[in-house]
Amino acid sequence: MDNFPLSEKYVQEEKFLNALASAYRLQEAIISTTELSIISTTPEGIITSFNAAAERMFGYSAQEMIGNRTPYILHDPEEMIRQAEVVSRELNQKIDPGFDVLVAKARATRMADRHEWIYVRKDGTRFPVMLSVTALWDENDVLIGYAGIASDITEQRETNEKIKQSEAHLKALVNSLDDLVIEIDSAGNYINVWTQRDEILFGPRENLIDKTIFQVLDNELSDQYKAIIERVIATGQPEFLDYKIKKQKENRWRNAKFNFISPDHVLVCIRDITEQKEDELKLIKSEQKFRTLAENIPGIIYLCNNDSTYSMLYLNSKVRDITGYTEDEFISGRMNFVQLYHPEDAPRIFEAVDRALSKRESFHLTYRLANKSGEWRWVEEMGIGVYHDDALILIEGFINDITAQKLAEEELQKVADENYRIFNSIINLTVIAGFDGYFKRVNPSWTTLLGWSQEELCAKPFIEFVHPDDIDPTYQATVHITEGNNLQTFENRYQCKDGSYKWLLWGSASDTRRNLIYASAVDITERKKFEEELLISKKNLEAAADKLQKQNDQLNEFAHIISHNLRSPVGNIKTLISLIDEDSSKEEYAVIFEKLKNTSASLNDTLNDLLETLHIKKETYIEHSTLQFDEVLNKVKYDLEGEIIKCNATIYSDFKRCNEIVYPKTYLESIILNLLSNAIKYRSPDRPLKITVHTGIEKGKTVLRVQDNGLGIDLEQHGEKLFGLRKTFHEHKEARGVGLFLTKTQVETLGGTISAESEVNNGTTFIITF
């Protein structure tokens, strides 16, 4: 049983219920009076409460919503579909686009889920909100519903957008500054550096980041920086510092404004105020110097009020030269500049000045001003507003007489007009082209010569009119000109409208300041045709000369053949005669005489063949015929019979594999004669001479090998000179160094090759491939 009497128990329960009712009424009062939209639902999403703020926010009454609707009606359906895909990926489960999209994360995490949504009012208007959804659980951990608290963030978004725009504008402003802006943290580290003038920095911009002021500035200045940064961070108030530095042996003044950004960062705007400081010092030294300077400036320096007549507070005496009135007349108000404005210029002057002053910008005007004499003077005025506490109080400026300049401009325009007329009337092709590759102006002679209109010539890059073979040289010439060079003579071909081409000779000059090319061309097509005809004539003469040279070379070669090929038969005759004397028998005389008859007949055949070859060479053609190797070898042996007998030489031959060849007879006889006579001439004294001549077919070509057992040749020493003219490799009274050279020339003339294999004192083999 309870310790309290029954009546006391009832009293305690009543107190509890009263306290619970009071808490509930307080809760209802808070929910009803808050500006936050509060909506609660069942686990299935049926609305169970809809406070007054929700009614104001959405336009629905609580009676319309409670028990009848789900919060899904307040959302943009397309946004719900998109968010369903996002939540499905985050929870790794399928979430359908409905009420569950709003509560799934809160239910899964058991934490409030905050997310921006677009809500839809009853009248259809849309607005952004920040919605916080919380799952509600009872004491038994059973889900009993959801509570959603929403706040309208329209103004917050607008504010954020304004902040973004302000940040973008600030960034653009900082990047456009002519001076220096740096961000420094409380420890003195450089965080950011912005400037358009690198020369104002203490070093390369990239070298400043991640460094401290103590590494960049001298000790005294870095201490000043550190102290000001600490004060600005502490007070939040900006501070200024003027200081002098030495840069490249020159003293420069800087003005630094330190601005609070955050408890850890300050922004330092640094301007070069050297000129300003110098001016201030000069002004401090003597105001009279300024006035003397002002009086000697060739123009009006003024300070005036911002009123309807721009009443003057200060004018230098130059006002008399331009207007004819004294400075006292303007300062006293008896005269003002508005009275002197040209009626046509006055509205434009007022509009430009008002617009510039409203934007705190300087103005720059050119207009006409009446002189006391009645004439109109052209003047140029530059001015700016003077402000105090954001209020415009004065205007200061400078007015300069530019009448002479205007007259000069008019004269210059006249000259330009004359140049234009000359440009269009000149016979040559004149043109102004841009560095961009387009003609800017062409004179009418272009149309006359090429047929293209001026518009067509200027409509596309001029390189497209150039002959394809001349495009690369034209491009290189253009690059040369755009680099600031002149080009006196350059030739290329331009296409006419009918498809033909004209040769042009150019002279060009460049203007790199204005990126223009000034050029003039003349038509040299007829000259080019004449040059081509001369070139053709020259080539024909060169061809004829070459033909004559070849014929001379062939005749020279033929002379060597005659000299060499006749030497062997004549030598053979001398040898045969030397074999008999007064003691020789009649039979010996008969044998020698028979051999002399054979040698004489062979010599006669050789002479006839050489004469026939000479006749053929006059026609620059070498006649080929079908020859038998054994027949040619026998004839050569007849020519060398005396030498063969004298040295007791033995000649073997084997032509079974190839005994026939189509070749010039004289050349083949000369080749074999030279090789055999070479073997006889350089035979070894230590052994009888043996010569082997045989033929074969190798890789489809006829090959002749002539092998002997003579002295041999040291190919390592003489190999490169073996076939050279007048090159000999053994002591022999008849050696002239012509035979092998002539043989190689004959073989290679007809497309063949000759090589040698040799070993000293073991003989030589010559290999000829026809």
The DSSP code sequence of 202-231 is SS-GGGTTT-BHHHHS-HHHHHHHHHHHHH
Residue count of the chain, please give it: 770
Lowest mean pLDDT among 69-78, 124-133, 164-173: 164-173
pLDDT band at 553 (very low <50, low <70, confident <90, very high): low
681 pLDDT band, cuts 50/70/90, is: confident
Percent of the chain with pLDDT over 90: 40
Q: Is 377 exposed, middle or buried (0-12, 13-18, 19+ CB in 10 A)?
A: buried
Choice between 497 and 488, residue whose per-residue pLDDT is larger: 497
Question: For 49-63, 543-557, 609-623, 742-756, which range has the lowest pLDDT when averaged over its residues?
Answer: 609-623
Q: Is the pLDDT of residue 298 over 60?
A: yes
Residue 729, pLDDT score: 55
Residue 426 φ/ψ, nearest 5 degrees: -70, 145
| Stronger pLDDT, 648 or 428, i.e. the higher one | 648
Residue 282 contacts by C-beta under 8 Å, 6 or more apart in sequence? 289, 290
- Per-residue pLDDT tens over the stretch 450-465: 999 989 999 999 999 9
User: What span, in angstroms and rounded, lies between the C-alpha atoms of 470 and 103?
Assistant: 76
Residue-wise pLDDT for 78-134, tens only, equals: 999 999 999 999 999 999 888 999 999 989 888 989 989 999 999 999 999 999 999
For the chain, helix (H) and strand (E) counts, in that order, are: 24, 27
Domain 426-523 -> CATH class: alpha beta
Top-level CATH class of 177-277? alpha beta
Amino acid at 31: I
- Asked if 184 contacts 262 with a C-beta cutoff of 8 angstroms, the reply is no
Q: Kindly report, residue by residue over 571-622, the tens digit of the pLDDT.
A: 667 777 777 777 777 777 777 777 777 776 666 656 655 554 454 444 445 7
Tell whether the model's pLDDT for residue 33 goes beyond 70: no
Q: Where are the domains of the chain?
A: 34-153, 177-277, 286-407, 426-523, 549-769
Q: By the 8 A CB rule, do 349 and 357 touch?
A: no
pLDDT of 21 higher than 60: no
* Structure token digits, residue 628: 């038998």
Residue 743 in tokens: 């043989």
Cα(229)–Cα(212) distance, integer angstroms? 13
- Round to whole Å and give the CA distance between 328 and 399: 17
User: Is 177-277 in the same CATH topology as 34-153?
Assistant: yes
- What residues form DSSP beta bridges with 757? 765
- Pair of tokens at residue 430: 């004149």
Nearest Cα residue to 298 out of 283, 316, 314: 316
- Cβ 661 vs Cβ 770: under 8 Å: yes
Q: Which of 57-71, 130-144, 481-495, 576-590 is the least confident region?
A: 576-590
Q: What is the 3-state secondary structure (H, E, C) of 599-635?
A: HHHHHHHHHHHHHHHHHHHCCCCCCCEEEEHHHHHHH
The answer to whether residue 292 scores a pLDDT higher than 50 is yes
CA neighbours within 13 Å on the CB side: how many for 670? 30
Both tokens assigned to 364: 């720059």
Please state, in angstroms and rounded to a whole number, the distance separating the CA atoms of residues 284 and 290.
10
429: which strand partners? Answer: 521
Can you tell me the distance from the alpha carbon of 51 to that of 129, in angstroms, rounded to the nearest whole number?
16
* Residue recorded with tokens 């406070």: 51
Q: 19 to each of 28, 29, 593, how far by Cα in Å? A: 14, 15, 168
Half-sphere exposure of 382 (CA within 13 A, CB side): 5
At 508, give phi and psi (nearest 5°).
-140, 155
> Which residue did the predictor score with more confidence, 189 or 207?
189
Where does 34-153 sit in CATH, by number?
3.30.450.20
Contact yes or no for 653/636 (Cβ under 8 A)? no
- Read off the amino acid at residue 677: S
Over residues 628-669, the pLDDT tens digits come to: 999 999 999 988 888 898 889 999 999 999 999 999 998 899
Global pTM? Answer: 0.28
Q: Mean pLDDT lowest for which of 28-32, 40-44, 757-761? A: 28-32
Measured CA to CA in angstroms, residue 272 lies from 235, 256, 267, 277 at distances of 26, 9, 17, 9
Q: Are strands 143-152 and 180-185 parallel, antiparallel or unpaired?
A: unpaired
Residues 291, 327: Cα–Cα separation, whole Å: 14
Residue 602: per-residue pLDDT: 62
pLDDT the model gives residue 48: 92
pLDDT for residue 283? 58
**Strand 701-708 relative to strand 690-698: parallel, antiparallel, unpaired?**
antiparallel
Pick from 643, 752, 631: which is nearest to 691 by CA?
643
Mean pLDDT of the chain: 82
Using CA atoms, how far apart are residues 281 and 296, in angstroms rounded to an integer? 20
Number of other residues whose CB lies within 10 A of the CB of residue 91: 14
Cα distance between residue 347 and residue 353, in whole Å: 10
pLDDT for 159: 78
Residue 74's nearest CA partner among 146, 145, 158, 150 is: 150
- In this predicted structure, which of 137-151, 182-196, 500-514 has the lowest mean pLDDT? 182-196
Residue 587 φ then ψ, to 5°: -65, -40
**DSSP notation for 178-191:** SSEEEEEETT-BEE
**Which pLDDT band, with edges at 50, 70 and 90, does 565 fall under?**
low
Q: Alpha-carbon distance 83 to 68, whole Å? A: 24
Q: Tokens in use for 715?
A: 């190919």
Render pLDDT for 259-276 as a digit per residue (tens, 0 to 9): 998 889 998 988 888 888
Among 5-9, 57-61, 496-500, the minimum mean pLDDT is found in 5-9
Q: Output the pLDDT for position 501.
A: 93
pLDDT at 615: 46
Alpha-carbon 514 to chain mean position = 22
Distance (Å, rounded) from C-alpha 287 to C-alpha 226? 37
Listed in sequence order, the DSSP H helices in 315-453 are 319-323, 327-331, 346-358, 403-425, 445-450
pLDDT of residue 744: 86
Condensed to tens digits (0 to 9), the pLDDT of residues 240-251 reads 999 888 776 778
**DSSP designation for 297:** S
CATH number among 3.40.50.1580, 3.30.565.10, 3.40.50.2300, 3.40.50.720, domain 549-769:
3.30.565.10
Q: Tell me which residue of 554, 523, 312, 291 sits closest to 430, measured CA to CA.
A: 523
Class of domain 286-407: alpha beta
State how far the Cα of 532 lies from the Cα of 538, in Å rounded to an integer: 10
What percentage of residues in the chain have a pLDDT greater than 70?
Answer: 80
Label the pairing between strands 690-698 and 650-654.
Answer: parallel
Residue 95 is encoded by which pair of tokens?
Answer: 């979430």
Cβ atoms of 130 and 113 closer than 8 Å: no
**What are the DSSP calls for 433-473, one per residue?**
EETTS-EEEE-THHHHHH---HHHHHHS-GGGGB-GGGHHH
Residue 299's pLDDT is 87
